[in-house]
């Protein structure tokens, strides 16, 4: 009964009322019967005061933060009007920030009213009014004091509601940024990264069911599923990479819905900044791979055109020397040495060609991926004296040179890993296309990848990281799997249509 006792002090009720209600577990209204009977002529006055106390008790008890403003106003009308001197003819109006809420029995034109201003954070935002017909007087100051108390309760509820909603919005923003940053830390393609941003950014907006998003990056455009090109009401944030404008992130509302500025602009800027850092990292990866690819091409060209030719020239000269020594009848030992030099030079030339082929796959540029993988399998078998077969179940034609090069490099890295780290003696390279799905599989009988059973693959070294990067660039799924019969499989799958 602590709340009730406080209300008694507020309304000047003496200690007799408090004593009459001590130990009573019922509501203030139930206790009023005993009070009225015990005070005779003063009973009516005390009954009115008890109505006021009951009104405040019920209003405060029911003003939960989960309610809407409409629900709270209805709740106030429900308990305030019965507490007035003439409840059957009383009506009430609450005005808040330009919105007007009225009790069911209110009619226009009433002027006989008591009112109380409503302030939130020290600023007047509305008022509470209670009306009687013109011929009915208010019980002043008692009813004015009750209306002021209810208005004060509504003020406190509005301030708490504002804080609660601000905290909820802040929590949505924090959750949004956490999920986006966690996702961008994974191995994602640019399509999936943009999809992840839409998935978590739009629900964090003020009107998530109406919001849509667009990300423009380097000439490419990614849109959320619900976006309409007719929308023009937007917030945007530029995305830069390496100090150059690379694109922008845009969030749209219908024209009749206002943005929560600056809060939503700040969130969009933060997401754009996260995407910018992710892009810079991806561009750096791309640059490093491009530099490595160009370096390989240069080395392959040098081996084929310069060093290989010089070694071949040494071999020809040694062979000519051998013939000359033999024809002159000189020592056979010298001729043998010359023949040995020629043979070693020939071996060195073959090795140079193999190295050049690995660094600069000539068949890939001239005959396509299928022929290049077939030649690669034959080269591996001859070089390492192991079984390495290539199989293409149906005709696979790839006209995109970048796609062909990345697939070739992934197969090359997977085969080399299987031999060097897995000790494989039998390998199968499989390329197939079926129903718009392209598959590249490299199977071996080696020791496999330690701890590998999922898409996450083994603990990555540089080669595996580059394989994953190449797969992301293609928008492909790359898996590292254990084979039931032993060994490992590297499997790449991607849609081609």
Could you tell me the pLDDT band of residue 455, with boundaries at 50, 70 and 90?
very low
Contact present, 483 and 448 (Cβ < 8 Å)? yes
- As given in the structure block, the two tokens for residue 190 are 């640019």
- As given in the structure block, the two tokens for residue 172 are 């949505």
Integer angstrom CA distances of residue 259 from 177, 213, 234, 250, 493: 19, 14, 8, 13, 42
Percent of the chain with pLDDT over 70: 83
Position 360 scores a pLDDT of: 63
Contact present, 315 and 347 (Cβ < 8 Å)? no
DSSP 8-state secondary structure symbol assigned to residue 460: P
Could you tell me the pLDDT band of residue 41, with boundaries at 50, 70 and 90?
low
- Distance, CA of 347 to CA of 308 (rounded, Å): 11
- Distance, CA of 409 to CA of 107 (rounded, Å): 81
Strands (E), 27-122: 91-96, 99-102, 113-120
Q: What number does CATH give the domain 63-184?
A: 3.30.450
Average the pLDDT over each of 62-76, 121-135, 292-306, 434-448 and give the range with the smallest value: 292-306
Contact present, 403 and 372 (Cβ < 8 Å)? no
Contact present, 125 and 118 (Cβ < 8 Å)? yes
> Within the chain, which residue ranges are assigned CATH 3.30.450?
63-184
Residue 265 has pLDDT above 60, yes or no: yes
> Within the chain, which residue ranges are assigned CATH 3.30.565.10?
368-497
Compute the average pLDDT of residues 230-244.
Answer: 88
Percent of the chain with pLDDT over 90: 43
Phi, psi of 226 (to 5 degrees): -100, 15
* 3-state SS track over 231-249: CCEEEEEEEEECCEEEEEE
Residue 17 has pLDDT above 90, yes or no: no
Q: Is 231 exposed, middle or buried (0-12, 13-18, 19+ CB in 10 A)?
A: middle
pLDDT, tens digit, 9 for 90 and up, residues 266-277: 999 999 999 999
Residues 6+ apart with CB under 8 A from 207: 253, 257
* Nearest by Cα to 62 from 74, 51, 50: 74
pLDDT, tens digit, 9 for 90 and up, residues 43-68: 777 878 888 999 999 999 999 999 99
Residues 387-424, buried b or exposed e (16+ Cβ, 10 A)? ebebebeeebebeeeebbbbbbbbbbbbbebbbebbeb
Q: Is 458 exposed, middle or buried (0-12, 13-18, 19+ CB in 10 A)?
A: middle
Compute the average pLDDT of residues 327-353.
Answer: 76
For the ranges 153-157, 324-328, 444-448, the one whose mean pLDDT is highest = 153-157
- Which tops the pLDDT comparison, 295 or 103? 103
pLDDT, tens digit, 9 for 90 and up, residues 291-335: 777 767 667 666 666 676 777 777 777 788 778 777 777 666 777
- Distance, CA of 242 to CA of 276 (rounded, Å): 9
Position 10 scores a pLDDT of: 42
Position 329 scores a pLDDT of: 72
Q: Is 368 exposed, middle or buried (0-12, 13-18, 19+ CB in 10 A)?
A: middle
Position 3 scores a pLDDT of: 33
Contact present, 411 and 394 (Cβ < 8 Å)? no
Position 374 scores a pLDDT of: 92
Residue 96: strand, helix, or coil: strand
Handedness of CA 418, 420, 421, 423 (dihedral sign): positive
If residue 392 lies in a helix (H) or strand (E), which one and from where to where? Answer: strand 387-392
Residue 350 has pLDDT above 80, yes or no: no
Position 102 scores a pLDDT of: 95
Which residues are registered as beta bridge partners of 239?
A: 247
Contact present, 34 and 50 (Cβ < 8 Å)? no
pLDDT, tens digit, 9 for 90 and up, residues 360-399: 676 787 888 999 999 899 988 988 899 999 999 888 888 8
If residue 215 lies in a helix (H) or strand (E), which one and from where to where? Answer: strand 212-217
In the chain, what is the greatest distance between 2 CA atoms, to the nearest angstrom? 153
Phi, psi of 420 (to 5 degrees): -75, -40
Which region holds residue 12: left if phi is over 0, alpha if psi is between -120 and 50, else beta?
left
Pick the CATH number of 368-497 from 2.160.10.10, 1.10.8.420, 3.30.565.10, 3.40.50.300: 3.30.565.10
Number of residues that this document lists for the chain: 497
Compute the average pLDDT of residues 159-174.
Answer: 90
Average pLDDT over the chain reads 82
Could you tell me the pLDDT band of residue 32, with boundaries at 50, 70 and 90?
very low
Residue 467: strand, helix, or coil: helix
Position 211 scores a pLDDT of: 93
Residue 354: strand, helix, or coil: helix
- Which tops the pLDDT comparison, 444 or 464? 444
- Distance, CA of 442 to CA of 404 (rounded, Å): 16
Position 358 scores a pLDDT of: 62
Edge-first strand listing for the sheet containing 123-131: 99-102, 91-96, 123-131, 113-120
């Amino acid at each position: 009964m602590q709340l009730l006792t406080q209300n008694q002090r507020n309304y000047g009720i003496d200690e007799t009322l408090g004593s009459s209600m001590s130990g009573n577990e019922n509501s203030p209204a139930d206790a009023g019967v005993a009070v009225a009977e015990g005070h005779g002529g003063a009973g009516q006055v005390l009954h009115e005061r008890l109505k006021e106390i009951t009104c405040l008790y019920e209003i405060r008890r029911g003003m939960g933060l989960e309610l809407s403003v409409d629900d709270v106003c209805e709740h106030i009308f429900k308990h305030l009007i019965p507490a007035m001197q003439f409840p059957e003819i009383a009506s009430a109006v609450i005005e808040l920030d330009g919105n007007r809420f009225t009790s069911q029995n209110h009619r226009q034109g009433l002027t006989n009213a008591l009112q109380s201003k409503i302030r939130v954070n020290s600023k007047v935002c509305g008022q509470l009014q209670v009306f009687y017909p013109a011929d009915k007087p208010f019980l002043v100051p008692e009813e004015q004091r009750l209306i002021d108390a209810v208005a004060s309760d509504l003020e406190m509820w509005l301030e708490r509601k504002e804080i609660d909603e601000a905290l909820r919005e802040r929590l949505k923003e924090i959750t949004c940024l956490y999920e986006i940053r966690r996702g961008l830390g994974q191995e994602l393609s640019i399509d999936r990264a943009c999809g992840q941003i839409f998935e978590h950014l739009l629900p964090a907006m003020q009107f998530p069911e109406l919001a849509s998003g667009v990300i423009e990056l380097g000439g490419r455009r990614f849109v959320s599923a619900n976006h309409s090109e007719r929308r023009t009401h937007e917030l945007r944030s530029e995305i830069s990479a390496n100090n150059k404008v690379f694109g922008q992130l845009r969030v749209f509302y219908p024209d009749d819905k206002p943005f929560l500025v600056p809060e939503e602009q700040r969130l969009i800027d933060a997401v754009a900044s996260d995407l910018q850092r992710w892009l810079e990292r991806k561009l750096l990866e791309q640059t490093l791979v491009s530099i490595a690819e160009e370096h390989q091409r240069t080395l392959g060209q040098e081996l084929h055109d310069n060093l290989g030719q010089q070694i071949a020239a040494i071999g020809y000269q040694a062979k000519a020397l051998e013939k000359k020594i033999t024809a002159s009848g000189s020592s056979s030992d010298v001729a043998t040495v010359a023949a040995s030099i020629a043979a070693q030079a020939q071996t060195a030339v073959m090795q140079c060609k193999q190295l050049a082929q690995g660094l600069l796959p000539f068949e890939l540029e001239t005959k396509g991926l299928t022929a290049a993988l077939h030649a690669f399998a034959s080269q591996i078998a001859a070089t390492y004296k192991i079984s390495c077969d290539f199989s293409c179940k149906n005709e696979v034609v790839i006209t995109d040179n970048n796609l062909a090069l990345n697939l070739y490099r992934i197969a090359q890295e997977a085969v080399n890993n299987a031999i060097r780290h897995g000790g494989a003696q039998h390998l199968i390279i499989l390329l197939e296309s079926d129903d718009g799905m392209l598959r590249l599989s490299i199977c071996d009988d080696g020791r496999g990848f330690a701890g590998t059973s999922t898409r996450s693959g083994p603990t990555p070294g540089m080669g595996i990281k580059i394989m994953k990067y190449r797969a992301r660039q293609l928008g492909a799924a790359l898996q590292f799997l254990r084979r039931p019969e032993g060994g490992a499989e590297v499997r790449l799958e991607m849609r081609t249509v």
